[in-house]
Amino acid sequence: MSSVAEDLVRRAVAGEAGALQRVLIPYQSRLLSRIRRKLPSQLVGAVGPEDILQDVYIDVFRGIGGLEQTGERAFLRWLIQVTDHRLVDTIRTHQAAKRGGGWQAVTHAPGNSSIAPLIDIIHVDSQTPSQVFARDEVEAAVMVALAGLKEDYREVLRLRFIEGLSVADTASRMNRTEWSVHKLCSRGLEQLRKTMGELSRYLTKA
């Protein structure tokens, strides 16, 4: 880890969300590979690796303040530990759901991640991120930016644009009015675009 990354980790532990988002982006590919490698074959198609990683990022945002050591090995060891714990929890949840008859496969278009629909509606520098920056970095940036949002914003964007629910179904799931869902979507997208605008300074041009 470079001195810049070391500084980002220290700032992240101190509560700076932008620093945590920046330090997580380069680990996306490594963490996804780990999840795919450790995900049982019988659950492939039942849960998406990106969906697990999204939960990992949320766990990281919630727990980063408790990290006592900020060196390269300590941070990476903790990050992998969080990933493995989330993976185990997800496997247990889906196995229990399958035994109870609640199992349902998830499907995404070939070559697309579950985050793709959300990427396509976000604009950075007046263009879609995929047209300006390397796609894998954009996916990582959107995922860490989403994890850093307030819970209501994150949930409404997940339901509407990742799960693809209608406004009515989203309102029902969140126990809110449809008007409230529209407002939350608008504000959530505004915050997401703002964060992506800040992160875009550190992404690689395609």
Say yes or no to pLDDT of 61 above 90.
Answer: yes
CATH class label, 108-206: mainly alpha
> How far is Cα 96 from Cα 102, in angstroms, rounded to an integer?
8
Q: What pLDDT, in 10s, does the model give residues 72-94? A: 778 999 999 999 999 999 988 87
Does the pLDDT at position 40 exceed 50?
yes
Supply the pLDDT for residue 202.
Answer: 83
Q: What percent of the chain lies above the pLDDT cut of 90?
A: 59
Give CA–CA dist 164/138, Å, rounded. Answer: 20
Query: In this predicted structure, what is the pLDDT of residue 112?
Result: 47
When the pLDDT of each residue in the chain is averaged and rounded to a whole number, the result is: 85
Per-residue pLDDT of 97-130, as tens digits, reads: 666 655 454 444 434 457 888 888 886 444 444 5
pTM of the predicted protein model: 0.84
Higher pLDDT, 152 or 43: 152
Please report the DSSP string for 91-135 in residue order.
Answer: HHHHHHHHHTT--------TT--TTHHHHTT--BTTB-HHHHB-H
140, 24 in Cβ contact below 8 A?
yes
Scored b (16 or more CB within 10 A) or e, 24-51 reads bbebbeebbebbeeebeeebeebbbbbb
Reported as a single tens digit per residue, the pLDDT across 128-166 is: 445 567 788 889 999 999 999 999 999 999 999 999 999
Q: Please, what is the Cα angle at 105 between 101 and 108, to 5 degrees?
A: 165
- Residue 179: half-sphere exposure toward Cβ, Cα within 13 Å: 0
- Taking the alpha carbons at both ends of the chain, their separation in whole angstroms is 24
Q: Taking the domains of the chain in order of start, what are their residue ranges?
A: 1-107, 108-206
Q: How confident is the model at residue 58 (pLDDT cuts 50, 70, 90)?
A: very high
Length of the chain: 206
- Which residues, 6 or more positions from 97, have their beta carbon under 8 angstroms from its beta carbon? 103
Spatial CA neighbour of 120 closest among 161, 154, 169, 150: 161
Class of domain 1-107: mainly alpha
Mean pLDDT of 28-50: 89
